[in-house]
């Protein structure tokens, strides 16, 4: 018969094994090449923090941003796979603030990424972040319903702005002081980034039925000119970040080459046990 201490040790070992299982599954998602473009964004944001002379714990910032942009990448992949209603399901999952890793969670890229993302949101920031994510989802829905290039560009800029604002709200508690100039900069870069994505792969989005109109040559020129105008405006004001901007552009181009031949995100086999009320995945994969 096991004594109490032996039972406790066995239970601890069981949960450590399950936590290692979660970390392994999350690491596998993080290292999936389909999300490579997203998980490289945190490093560039940290370089922008250096540029703005913002003091913070870089490791903590990277961990939070990694969880967020992997979450964005996974959800974006699902929505692009003709499942826009998945965004609403993810929002419902986020409404429950306490992370919960059950069989269904660990068996789904989106659910696992969402639960890990929850672990990195400060309680004080949670309402604001959830509200912005709701706006972001509505903007994605509106984008897909756009019937003109002008309306499409407007929604793309809103999406980029909101995506970047959430990243700022996520890391703001880790920064010393409030930095509205940094937030606005990230929002503008987010807008240009979304326009750049569209310039690169709008034809593919049309083929996938993600756009409700057929862009003309003038539409393509309008989109490209808007991206260049906005991008040059930022570059002229922040020329020392030219290297960061070039890296982002190259990353987008390489990611597009991969997306052309990708398949829907695979699901992970569900385990036999759950780990309720815990959040073991707090380190960046590979760290």
- pLDDT tens digits along 201-236: 899 889 888 899 999 999 999 999 999 999 999 999
Nearest of 25, 37, 1, 12 to residue 252 by alpha carbon: 37
CATH 1.10.600 fits 18-263, yes or no: yes
Residue 114: predicted pLDDT? 95
CA triple 217-195-141, angle to 5 deg: 95
Give helix 58-80 / helix 86-95 axis angle, nearest 10°: 140
Tracing tokens 């309306």 back to the chain, one arrives at 151
Residue 107: predicted pLDDT? 82
Residue 284: predicted pLDDT? 42
Query: What are the residue ranges spanned by the domains of the chain?
Result: 18-263
- pLDDT tens digits along 242-272: 998 888 888 877 776 555 544 444 443 333 3
Task: Please answer whether residues 278 and 101 qualify as being in contact, where contact means their C-beta atoms are separated by less than 8 angstroms.
Answer: yes
Local structure of residue 101 (DSSP, 8 states): E
Residue range 16-39: mean pLDDT, rounded = 84
Least confident of 95-104, 164-173, 216-225: 95-104
Nearest of 34, 17, 18, 46 to residue 75 by alpha carbon: 34
Residue range 171-197: mean pLDDT, rounded = 93
Q: Is 5 exposed, middle or buried (0-12, 13-18, 19+ CB in 10 A)?
A: exposed
Residue 54: predicted pLDDT? 92
The proportion of the chain whose per-residue pLDDT surpasses 90, expressed as a percent, equals 57
Residue 209: predicted pLDDT? 85
Please state, in angstroms and rounded to a whole number, the distance separating the CA atoms of residues 87 and 77.
11
pLDDT at 94 over 50: yes
- pLDDT tens digits along 116-126: 999 999 999 99
Residue 269: predicted pLDDT? 39
Query: What is the chain's mean pLDDT, rounded?
Result: 83
Please state, in angstroms and rounded to a whole number, the distance separating the CA atoms of residues 151 and 156.
9
Kindly report the backbone phi and psi dihedral angles of residue 101, in degrees, each rounded to the nearest multiple of 5, phi listed first: -110, 90
Residue range 6-35: mean pLDDT, rounded = 70
Residue 248: predicted pLDDT? 86
Residue 176: predicted pLDDT? 84
Q: SS3 of 275, please?
A: strand
Please state, in angstroms and rounded to a whole number, the distance separating the CA atoms of residues 186 and 42.
12
Nearest of 191, 182, 184, 181 to residue 231 by alpha carbon: 191
Residue range 72-86: mean pLDDT, rounded = 81
Kindly report the backbone phi and psi dihedral angles of residue 255, in degrees, each rounded to the nearest multiple of 5, phi listed first: -65, -35
User: What's the Cα-to-Cα distance from 246 to each of 242, 243, 249, 251, 258, rounded to whole Å?
Assistant: 6, 5, 5, 8, 19
Band (84; pLDDT cuts 50, 70, 90): low
Band (276; pLDDT cuts 50, 70, 90): very low
The two structure tokens encoding residue 90 = 């993810």
Residue range 104-113: mean pLDDT, rounded = 86
Please state, in angstroms and rounded to a whole number, the distance separating the CA atoms of residues 172 and 193.
21
Least confident of 56-65, 96-105, 129-138, 179-188: 96-105
């Amino acid at each position: 018969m096991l004594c109490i201490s032996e039972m406790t040790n066995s239970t601890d070992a069981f949960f450590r094994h399950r936590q290692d299982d979660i970390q392994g599954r999350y690491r596998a998602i993080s290292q999936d090449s389909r999300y490579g473009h997203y998980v490289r964004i945190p490093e560039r944001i940290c370089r922008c923090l250096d540029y703005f002379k913002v003091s913070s714990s870089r490791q903590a910032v990277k961990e939070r941003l990694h969880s967020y942009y992997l979450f964005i990448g996974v959800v974006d992949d699902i929505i692009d796979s003709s499942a826009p209603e998945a965004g609403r399901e993810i929002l419902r999952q986020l409404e429950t603030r306490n992370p919960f890793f059950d069989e269904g969670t660990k068996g789904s890229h989106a659910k696992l990424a969402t639960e890990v993302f929850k672990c990195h949101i400060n309680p004080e920031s949670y309402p604001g972040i959830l509200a912005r994510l709701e706006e972001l989802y509505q903007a994605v829905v509106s984008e897909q319903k756009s019937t003109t290039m002008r309306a499409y560009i407007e929604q793309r800029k809103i999406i980029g702005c909101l995506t970047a604002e959430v990243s700022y709200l996520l890391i703001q508690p880790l920064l010393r002081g409030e930095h509205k100039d940094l937030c606005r900069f990230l929002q503008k870069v987010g807008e240009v980034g979304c326009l750049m994505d569209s310039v690169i792969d709008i034809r593919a989005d049309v083929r996938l039925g993600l756009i409700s109109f057929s862009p003309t040559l003038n539409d393509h020129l309008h989109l490209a000119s808007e991206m260049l105008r906005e991008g040059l405006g930022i570059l002229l004001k922040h020329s020392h970040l030219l290297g960061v901007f070039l890296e982002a552009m190259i990353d987008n181009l390489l990611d597009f080459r991969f997306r052309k031949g990708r398949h829907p995100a695979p699901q992970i086999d569900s385990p036999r046990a759950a780990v309720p009320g815990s959040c073991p995945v707090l380190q960046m994969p590979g760290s």
